[in-house]
Amino acid sequence: MAMISPSRRLRRTPFSDGNEAAGVKGYTVYNHMLLPTVFRSIEEDYRHLKHAVQVWDVACERQVELRGPDAGRLMQMLTPRDLRGMLPGQCAYVPLVDETGGMLNDPVALKLAEDRWWISIADSDLLLWVKGIVYGYRLDVLVDEPDIAPLAVQGPKAEDLVARIFGDGVRKVRFFRFGWFEFEGTWMVVARSGYSKQGGFEIYVDGFDNGMPLWNALMEAGRDLDVHAGCPNLIERIESGLLSYGNDMTRENTPHECGLGRFCDTQTAIGCVGRDALLRVSMEGPVRQIRALELDATSVPPCDRIWDVTDARGMRVGRVTSAALSPDFNCGVAIGMVRMTHWDPGTHLLVQGPDGPIDAHVRETFWN
């Protein structure tokens, strides 16, 4: 693969200097911002993530801030998840859909107050959709991208490390809850969340200039925990069944196709702009859906485009959009969309990779 050409348009983050000092080897671009993809090697990063602790520059999870009397109403317009029971201090994974029920983003929403929300977005300019809705409906709400840059601390030793910086109070923060904690005079949101299944926190670093001091403090405090710069890991996130917007789902897909039906309350999510479109699919279910696939392979090429999935006779029954070789599972692991005729666990399929067909079968999940 080729080099990435630097330009201001591919925004650097408050932590870019830290990534470079740690020897970042690969980048992707996410919300017009640099996102590291590999430090030592994807496999080495993967093993390290599972036994130690990593600090991840996920500043590219940009925030869309909603502020004002209509903030709550607006938030409910965006998602078929019923948010009425949500309290300040809670996070919620929310499928966001357009008027046809197509996925626009799959962020984590943070309720800061009754009239103030952050939407921590995946890779699409959600701000533009929200601004369009606000303008069209003349809602009483300010929408903007604040100077907030998430920094994730992930891995089995994450809690110990974060407690050394923010105090033992963070240990009491439950999964998908957040609290406000101080770092050098600035109060920041610290949530128990993150794009791995190894446990950890996301710190919503307030102010670009606070980025490197916090980065350095974490690196210093975690030396005996074998802390290292890391990043969302391709292998681990596929094993963990964590979807990637733009890879595993796009505007073409409903939340139900993405296996996100459990985050939809289409009957009661009054005001959601995609509600009408989703009522039927929410009752009858989709005809294709995201599945974990096990690949009978000893090497897996980079999945840089859609790979067709066929049955033994060559009929197209789905597609794969993320794949990697898993050292721990000793097989290829993949995420794809499969037709209901072929989606039962155990079904034998062929994944049409660039080097020829790969034997595969549907799994319930990888992670248990």
Contact criterion met (CB below 8 Å) for 308 and 354: no
Minimum CB separation of residue 78 from a second copy in Å reads 11
The verdict on 10 binding a second copy (CB under 8 A) reads yes
Minimum CB separation of residue 129 from a second copy in Å reads 4
Site for a second copy in 263-292 (CB under 8 A): 273
The verdict on 123 binding a second copy (CB under 8 A) reads yes
Name which position in 89, 90, 129, 310 contacts a second copy (CB under 8 A): 129
Minimum CB separation of residue 4 from a second copy in Å reads 4
Name which position in 43, 82, 115, 125 contacts a second copy (CB under 8 A): 125
Name which position in 203, 277, 303, 317 contacts a second copy (CB under 8 A): 303
Site for a second copy in 318-347 (CB under 8 A): 321-322
- Residue with tokens 């399929």, as numbered in its chain: 349
Name which position in 49, 58, 91, 133 contacts a second copy (CB under 8 A): 133
Minimum CB separation of residue 153 from a second copy in Å reads 22
Name which position in 154, 196, 233, 247 contacts a second copy (CB under 8 A): 247
Residues ≥6 apart with Cβ < 8 Å to 36: 19, 24, 26, 27, 56, 57, 229, 231
Site for a second copy in 56-115 (CB under 8 A): 98-99, 104
Query: Is 114 annotated as ligand-binding?
Result: no
Site for a second copy in 191-210 (CB under 8 A): none
Name which position in 2, 85, 87, 284 contacts a second copy (CB under 8 A): 2
Residues ≥6 apart with Cβ < 8 Å to 263: 80, 81, 93, 94, 95, 255
Q: Which phi-psi region, left, alpha or beta, contains residue 87 (left: φ > 0; alpha: ψ -120 to 50)?
A: beta
The verdict on 304 binding a second copy (CB under 8 A) reads yes
Distance of CA 354 to the CA centre of its chain: 27
Contact criterion met (CB below 8 Å) for 57 and 16: yes
* DSSP letter (8 states) at residue 229: E
Name which position in 12, 47, 164, 177 contacts a second copy (CB under 8 A): 12
Binding segment for a second copy among 49-57, 81-89, 240-248, 347-355 (CB under 8 A)? 240-248
Q: What whole-number distance in Å separates Cα of residue 290 and Cα of residue 242? A: 11
Contact criterion met (CB below 8 Å) for 207 and 147: yes
Q: What whole-number distance in Å separates Cα of residue 7 and Cα of residue 184? A: 32
Burial 249-262 (b: 16+ CB within 10 A, else e): beeebbbbbbbbbe
Q: At 103, list the tokens.
A: 């996925």
Residue 359's nearest CA partner among 293, 304, 281 is 293
The verdict on 163 binding a second copy (CB under 8 A) reads no
Q: What whole-number distance in Å separates Cα of residue 357 and Cα of residue 119? A: 40
Contact criterion met (CB below 8 Å) for 280 and 321: no
Binding segment for a second copy among 125-133, 162-170, 186-194, 289-297 (CB under 8 A)? 125-133
Which DSSP string do the residues of 109-133 spell out, in sequence order?
EEEEETTEEEEE--SS-HHHHHHHH
Is 12 or 164 the residue whose CB approaches a second copy more closely?
A: 12
Q: What whole-number distance in Å separates Cα of residue 279 and Cα of residue 341? A: 23
Name which position in 15, 22, 38, 45 contacts a second copy (CB under 8 A): 38
Binding segment for a second copy among 30-38, 326-334, 347-355, 356-364 (CB under 8 A)? 30-38
| Binding-site annotation: residue ranges for substrate | 202
Give binding residues as ranges. 202
Per CB under 8 A, residues contacting a second copy are 1-10, 12, 24-29, 32, 37-38, 98-99, 104, 123-126, 128-137, 244-247, 273, 302-306, 321-322
